[in-house]
Amino acid sequence: MNNLKNIFALCILSVLAYACGDSDRTSVEVFDHEAQALIDRDSLSIFFTKHYYDTAVDSVKTLVAGATPLSEDANLKTMNVTENEIDYELYYYVESVGNPINEKGFPTPLDSIFVKYEGFRINGSDSITPRFEIRETPIWFTLNSVIRGWSYGFTNFKNGDNVTDNGPITFENGGKGILFIPSGLAYRNSGTSGSIRSNENLIFYINLFDFVKDTDHDNDGIPSWLEDPDGDGDPRNDDTNGDFFVNYLDGDDDGDGVLTKDEDANGDGNPANDFSDPNNPTLADYLNPDIN
């Protein structure tokens, strides 16, 4: 019994020594992202009362007499977004949703987009800092690898029409607007190594020219946004075979040694509608390691 008491006491002393012994040890603080989301919401709400959209220069400006503040502008929309179990409000201003002849609908948060943009930081709730980034030449991005404010914000705009004729790439009728992104859907409390400080809200003026409808990142025949077996609306957390590659980036989703694209029994190019297991008739073959 005494030996047990001695061992127990030794364990306690060891814990205390670890906690108190090294004056240079840095404690790890847990950042309160939920509280920051509320701060950002309040800051943006105040910002919208102090600024308006100036159609003459296509820019957000400090409110002047006779102008309609953004807080009362019907073109400013709100989108509720939940990330990491925290609720955010993402705001977007619609200059044009997009009215293409060759309409594809709206992109999903995992599609690839062709855009140009300008980025600005918001200084508290009062002013806009000088531009920190500009992309005047359109560029392709995939919405699964950008800040979450982009991933969701671009889903509110449509593609344009490519009218290029022996000259620079030119699009017409595409979506155009502004994204007001709370820090929690941008660079959070880390900021960037360059111009964006921690917990800064951002503004992006955007033009959506084109997107790849039903982007398929792993080329397995199933659009990335549909690789969501648990049905929670977020394909980023689905890893059927547990190999640390989420399904939309995994060519063999069930890990049975047969590529997903080859688990297409009916040969229609869509592995998601093949069900061959009489013992598990609602589980598609490409997610069923017993069928290959």
Residue 1: inside a domain: no
Q: Which residues pair with 292 in a beta bridge?
A: none
224 and 191, same structural domain?
no
**Last-in-domain residue among 156, 183, 212:** 212
Q: What is the mean pLDDT of the chain?
A: 90
Q: pLDDT by residue (tens digit) across 217-256? A: 999 999 999 999 999 999 999 999 999 999 999 999 999 9
224 and 175, same structural domain?
no
Q: What's the CATH number where 106 sits?
A: 3.10.50.40
248 and 127, same structural domain?
no
**Last-in-domain residue among 191, 212, 233:** 212
Q: What is the DSSP letter of 33?
A: H
258 and 174, same structural domain?
no
Nearest C-alpha neighbor of 114 from the set 181, 180, 212: 212
CB within 8 A of 113, min separation 6: which ones? 107, 140, 141, 142, 143, 154, 208, 210, 211, 212
3-state class (DSSP) for residue 23 = coil
Q: pLDDT by residue (tens digit) across 174-196? A: 999 999 999 999 999 998 877 89
**Torsion angle of C-alpha atoms 33, 39, 40, 46, degrees rounded to 10:** 170
Q: Is the pLDDT of residue 275 over 70?
A: yes
* Number of domains the chain contains: 2
Residue 6: inside a domain: no
| pLDDT in the model for residue 23 | 45
Residue 278: inside a domain: yes
Q: pLDDT by residue (tens digit) across 119-140? A: 999 988 888 888 888 998 999 9
| pLDDT in the model for residue 103 | 93
What's the pTM value of the predicted model, to 2 decimals? 0.86
| pLDDT in the model for residue 28 | 56
Q: pLDDT by residue (tens digit) across 55-103? A: 999 999 999 999 999 999 999 999 999 999 999 999 999 999 999 999 9
Residue scoring higher pLDDT (46 or 136): 46
